[in-house]
């Protein structure tokens, strides 16, 4: 009887522990969730993050706040996100720089330090210039650069970042010399500098400058993608115009630290469903962002493949 009594108590304790664990999982989220955006407000990554939160708010049982951390060109934000507690309360909009900067020994974390949830954006690079620039095509842009080596100042979101790499790839492919001007805080400051006449061009996603493009202040000469963009049907790809066969795209994937529990990931699937929501996709399209919805194994594979691709590309470009 005593052994049976002890066994009964033990089983009761185990049941209580399990019930406590299940209860803890069931209460997620029980406090505010933070999303780290390693870019300045107003850029594509920031727009996507805030749009996700706004369109998912009715399905969440807590408040979600977006925190911009631009220190170190976004490096600090990525490190902060990777080192956060794996409890689902700190998420990060990991960006394509996660696949690039480790190869420059500037970022001590990689895609392996995160579990990606969803990537609602994967925009291609483009060549953006003032509307009154003395060139209307990428071919003319290149001819001008050859005739005036080092004169064209091209803004980017940081040395070694994706848009800088896009400009470097142009230099390498067409044997031209550009002056690279980095801006801390993402693409928005570079676009502002371009609009203000402080630089001559920016290699970035068109969506980062749609307001200025629509206002007639800036124009897009070409895009670095396989196909033309639906919202810029008259702008050719560099592949069709110049047989430039490198596609460079900037993705932003909402991610959590590695080892985040499965039950938390299941709750965060609300963002996957939001990314597929037609209303959210219309919101992105209106911002000049091509809506996509990479998630699960497909997204993890894309991030891993880009990590390897940029490693080889940077070796070839001697970065």
* pLDDT, tens only, 15-72: 444 444 444 456 899 999 999 999 889 888 999 999 999 999 989 889 999 999 999 8
Which residues, 6 or more positions from 209, have their beta carbon under 8 angstroms from its beta carbon? 128, 191, 194, 195, 202, 218, 288
> Structural domains in the chain?
30-122+250-316 (3.40.190.150), 124-242 (3.40.190.10)
pLDDT reported for residue 20: 47
**Is residue 172 exposed (0-12), middle (13-18) or buried (19+ Cβ within 10 Å)?**
middle
pLDDT in tens for each of the 319 residues of the chain?
Answer: 444 444 344 444 444 444 444 444 568 999 999 999 998 898 889 999 999 999 999 898 899 999 999 998 889 999 999 999 999 999 999 999 999 999 989 999 999 999 999 999 988 899 999 999 999 999 999 999 999 999 999 999 877 788 888 999 899 899 999 999 999 877 889 999 999 999 999 999 898 898 999 999 999 999 998 889 888 999 999 999 999 987 788 899 999 999 999 999 999 999 999 999 999 999 998 887 889 999 999 999 999 988 998 898 888 777 6
218 in helix, strand or coil? strand
Among left, alpha and beta (phi > 0; psi -120 to 50; other), residue 169 is: alpha
pLDDT reported for residue 9: 41
């Amino acid at each position: 009887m005593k052994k049976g009594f002890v066994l009964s108590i033990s089983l009761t304790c185990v049941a209580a522990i399990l019930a406590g664990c299940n209860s803890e999982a069931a209460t997620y989220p029980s406090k505010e969730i933070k999303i780290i955006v390693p870019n300045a407000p107003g850029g594509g990554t920031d727009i996507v993050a805030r749009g996700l939160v706004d369109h998912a708010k009715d399905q969440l049982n807590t408040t979600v706040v977006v925190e911009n951390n631009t220190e170190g060109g976004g490096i600090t934000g990525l490190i902060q996100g990777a080192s956060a507690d794996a409890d689902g309360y700190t998420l990060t909009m990991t960006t394509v720089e996660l696949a690039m900067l480790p190869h420059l020994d500037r970022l001590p974390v990689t895609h392996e330090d995160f579990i990606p949830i969803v990537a609602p954006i994967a925009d291609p690079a483009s060549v953006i210039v003032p509307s009154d620039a003395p060139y209307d095509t990428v071919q003319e842009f290149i001819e001008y650069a050859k005739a005036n080596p080092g004169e064209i100042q091209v803004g980017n979101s940081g040395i070694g970042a994706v848009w800088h790499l896009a400009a470097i790839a142009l230099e390498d492919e067409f044997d031209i010399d550009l002056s690279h001007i980095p801006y801390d805080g993402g693409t928005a400051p570079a676009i502002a500098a371009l609009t203000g006449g402080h630089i001559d061009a920016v290699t970035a996603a068109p969506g980062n400058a749609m307001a200025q493009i629509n206002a007639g202040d800036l124009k897009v000469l070409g895009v670095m993608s396989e196909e033309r963009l639906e919202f810029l049907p008259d702008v050719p790809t560099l592949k069709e115009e110049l047989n430039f066969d490198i596609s460079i795209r900037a993705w932003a994937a909402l991610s959590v630290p590695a080892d985040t529990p499965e039950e938390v990931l299941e709750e965060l699937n609300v963002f996957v469903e939001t990314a597929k929501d037609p209303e959210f996709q219309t919101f992105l399209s209106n911002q000049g962002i091509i809506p996509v919805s990479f998630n699960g194994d497909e997204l993890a594979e894309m991030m891993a493949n880009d990590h390897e691709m940029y490693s080889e590309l940077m070796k070839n470009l001697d970065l």
